[in-house]
Amino acid sequence: MKLLKNPFSIRKRQSPADQTIYPLARPYSASLTGRRKRIPSNPIQRYFVPLTLMEATDKIFRKFTSRNAEGYAWWTGYLNSEIEAQVCSVLYPEAKTHYGRVYLDRGMMSAMHRKLIELDQILLAELHTHPPGAGGQNEVDADNAAIFYPGFITIVVPNFAKPRFYDLRNSFIYEYEHSGSWRKLEKSEILKRFIIEESLVEVKAQ
């Protein structure tokens, strides 16, 4: 007697649509809302960061790490209030970086700022990775930030973001004060000021 296979054990064949990669670009561009006009007048006290954006940043750093080079990115978004900001995009340059140095010429920096205007967002934080053993911010980093205003955040991710960029408490985070001086945030302060929010949540019945 020939036994029939359990139909539920047969893996469903994927359709071509199932095998496509989800688009990286937005489906359409809405009209500008004027959010960018709201420049911080006081240091931002809380940043809301989607977990999917953390994952996207990690993937960006992997691209640079595969070339054994430092990674560089901006976190951009808009203000929720005078002291709160929503991070919603990651911008990174299509540029060649090096093992211990990131250099973006004036043309690339201008392109980054133009994209910022196009997205109708403001620059909230600058991020870059360091090679193993390089530690946190150095003098070159401190003198060459993307922008300087009281409260601006720069994040230095050690060890080329290995094993992954996930917990901000494992990075070096600095806040710009004035006259070229930066203040390093303690882990307890990072915990309070950077709110990581899960982006995909499955809810089960009790």
pLDDT in tens, 73-87: 999 999 999 899 999
The Cα–Cα gap between 106 and 118 comes to 18
Q: Which domain holds residue 62?
A: 45-186
**pLDDT > 70: percent of the chain:** 84
Interval 110-149: pLDDT, tens? 999 999 988 889 999 999 999 889 889 989 888 888 888 8
Domain count, the chain: 1
Whole-number Å distance between alpha carbons of 135 and 137: 7
Which CATH number is 57's domain given?
A: 3.40.140.10
Residue 166 lies in a domain: yes
The residues of the chain scoring below 70 in pLDDT are 1-19, 31-37, 95, 98-101, 103
The backbone torsions φ and ψ at residue 43, rounded to the nearest 5 degrees and listed phi first, read: -55, 135
Residue 60 lies in a domain: yes
Tell whether 24 is covered by a domain. no
Q: For residue 196, tell me if it sits in a domain.
A: no
Nearest to 148 by CA among 174, 172, 169, 111: 174
Instruction: Establish if 51 belongs to a structural domain.
Output: yes
Residue 7 is assigned to a structural domain of this protein: no
